[in-house]
């Protein structure tokens, strides 16, 4: 590579590193159920112009392209972390919206009941006014008819009980309405907090993907092809190292459940569809969108995000993995795939890629979870 272009490509890698090191995913505390990854150093991103490639310069060396590959891997990993945060915030916001709607219905019903109880209490007061303001007991005592006295005794007792019940219901309904109103206000505040969390995560995702795209734009077509080959070689090395541990000799064969087989078949039917962050199909998917929809299609709903899938679903030993199980990748559970057997998995890798089958050991495995038991 000519010195001019080598300098520009190296500068581009350094610039993108500096820009992305200055970003941080700022999700409000307690807003998400998913475990938060360790934050990056905070600070405002610098305004940087990435140099244009020099068309007549010599191609990049393998070492330079390997540095680009490593940096792209980091950028897309950070985008995946932000995507999980976005999905978690979106799921929680949807739940909170449903709770607010339910509370609103309760408030309407409570107000209708309160109006009815007030009408009943008012009717009793008007009846007392029409009888001269004397309570029923006094009217009974003043009666000259003993039979009327005896017959009315039971009605007095029933009336007193009904009045007491009406007053108690009136008070309880008023208390319930006050509680519903407080819950609705708190729910609205939480909903707004999670909407802000979604906006923050969205900005982080777009920033990381933009940085990756700028870095890739520095490469000529031939260099992009060599970069893709380096990516394949890195995945192959990782898969070979994983297989060389003898893990495939330990894995049981043909033991997938009926649900697991349906989930695998559904996931494979999505091969070739593009990755899109936050997408759950039918035309595009992110990694956890693919796995959650596959298991939903098999009749077993599971959590939406890879981090929640790791946190909530039953874990199984790697040596017991069977088709349909979900493989969680990276120490922060930022990626998920579905095991399909024979040492392979199906997943939606990252922006710019499509749903594909790859080696199950081609990325660092955190663990395995099993939907459906």
Instruction: Write out the catalytic residue numbers.
Output: 287, 335, 347
Helix (H) or strand (E) segment spanning residue 337: strand 335-341
CB-based contact 318:247 (threshold 8 Å) = yes
Q: Report the residue count for the chain.
A: 373
The CA-atom distances, in angstroms, between 243 and each of 194, 240, 246, 321, 338 are 42, 5, 6, 14, 17
Nearest to 365 by CA among 352, 270, 343, 265: 343
CA atoms within 13 A on the CB side of 223: 26
Rounded Cα distance, 247 and 299, in Å? 30
Rounded Cα distance, 218 and 55, in Å? 10
Q: Is 136 exposed, middle or buried (0-12, 13-18, 19+ CB in 10 A)?
A: middle
Q: Is 126 helix (H, G, I), strand (E, B) or coil?
A: helix
Rounded Cα distance, 335 and 305, in Å? 9
Rounded Cα distance, 212 and 231, in Å? 15
């Amino acid at each position: 590579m000519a010195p001019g272009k080598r300098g520009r490509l190296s500068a581009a890698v350094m610039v993108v590193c500096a820009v992305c090191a200055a970003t941080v995913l700022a999700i409000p505390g307690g807003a998400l159920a998913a475990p938060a990854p360790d934050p990056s150093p905070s600070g405002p991103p610098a305004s940087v112009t990435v140099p244009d490639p020099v068309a007549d310069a010599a191609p990049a060396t393998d070492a330079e392209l390997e540095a680009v590959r490593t940096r792209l891997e980091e950028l897309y990993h950070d985008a995946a972390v932000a995507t999980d945060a976005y999905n978690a915030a979106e799921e929680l916001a949807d739940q909170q919206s449903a709770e607010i709607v339910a509370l609103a219905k309760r408030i309407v019903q409570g107000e209708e009941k309160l109006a009815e109880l007030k009408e009943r209490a008012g009717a009793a007061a008007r009846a007392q006014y029409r009888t001269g303001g004397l309570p029923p007991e006094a009217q009974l005592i003043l009666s000259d008819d003993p039979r009327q006295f005896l017959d009315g005794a039971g009605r007095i007792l029933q009336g007193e009980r009904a009045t007491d019940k009406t007053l108690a219901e009136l008070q309880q309904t008023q208390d319930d309405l006050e509680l519903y109103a407080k819950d609705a206000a708190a729910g609205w505040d939480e909903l707004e907090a999670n909407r802000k969390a979604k906006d923050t995560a969205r900005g982080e995702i777009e920033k990381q993907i933009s940085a990756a795209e700028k870095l890739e734009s520095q490469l000529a077509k031939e260099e992009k092809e060599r970069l893709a080959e380096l990516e394949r070689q890195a995945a192959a090395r990782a898969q070979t190292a994983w297989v060389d541990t003898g893990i495939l000799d330990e894995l049981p064969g043909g033991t997938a459940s009926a649900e697991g087989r349906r989930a695998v078949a559904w996931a494979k039917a999505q091969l070739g569809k593009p990755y899109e962050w936050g997408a759950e199909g039918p035309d595009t998917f992110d990694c956890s969108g693919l796995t959650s929809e596959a298991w939903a299609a098999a009749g077993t709903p599971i959590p939406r995000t890879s981090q929640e899938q790791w946190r909530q679903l039953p874990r199984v030993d790697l040596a017991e993995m069977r088709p349909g199980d979900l493989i969680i990748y990276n120490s922060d559970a930022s990626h998920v795939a579905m095991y399909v057997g024979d040492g392979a998995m199906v997943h939606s890798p990252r922006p710019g890629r499509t749903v594909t089958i790859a080696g199950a050991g081609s990325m660092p495995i955190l663990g395995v979870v099993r939907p459906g038991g």
